[in-house]
Structure 1
């Protein structure tokens, strides 16, 4: 499950975070293209923190 990161400035949907964290599993890069780069970076940081 994805945990909310209180230090995050923006709220990111669990679905968007899921696809970003597991893009290599799903080959759904076309979905990632719709997500702003700043949101991608923030989601990646959240993934690193929640998957430790």
Structure 2
């Protein structure tokens, strides 16, 4: 294998790992956003239930 071929393979691997890292990071952020929205909805529902119980 020539040096150019090895260099090309290394560059391609770096690009693939960078894309994988970005996708993983964005999916984790999206999951955190969804769970925080669910938590807020649950808290809002709980506060509404407590207000109904008081009345």
Superposition TM-score, scaled by structure 1 size: 0.32
Higher helix share: 2
| Highest RCO, 1 vs 2 (Cα 8 Å, sep ≥ 6) | 1
TM-score using structure 2 length: 0.30
